[in-house]
Structure 1
Amino acid sequence: MRHMTGEKILLGVTGGIAAYKAVDLVRRLRDAGSDVRVVMTRGARAFVTPL
């Protein structure tokens, strides 16, 4: 992933089996220097635990 220092990203995660991939995406975006905020539906929380 390219260098993204200072980018502000809001990621919406909904309920579905692919929700677990959001965890890796957030990690990669943060490693690239982005400020990432995540909003999750109740259904997404069934697949991924919010921190």
Structure 2
Amino acid sequence: MFAGKNILVGVTGGISAYKTCDLVRDLVKASAQVRVMMTEAATRFVSALTF
């Protein structure tokens, strides 16, 4: 379903920012090409290295 798709995920500062890690992992498992864009505030909740 996501094979060959390019997906951009935007992460903002909020306590639920950590949930995007699961979303990105699932998209990658489904063969999507995923890029993550984070605000400075988002880095207080998750690290760029997490993705």
TM superposition score normalised by structure 1: 0.91
Which of residues 25, 28, 37 is equivalent to 2:26?
28
Distance 1:41 1:4 in 2: 25
List runs of 5+ in structure 1 lacking aligned partners. none
- In terms of fraction of residues, the more helix-rich structure is 2
Residue matched to 1:7: 5
- RMSD, matched Cα: 0.6
Residue matched to 1:17: 15
What does the per-residue CA deviation read over 1:1-51, in whole Å, with 9 as the maximum and x for residues that have no partner? Answer: xx3110100000000001000000000000000000000001100000102
Query: Paired residues, what number?
Result: 49
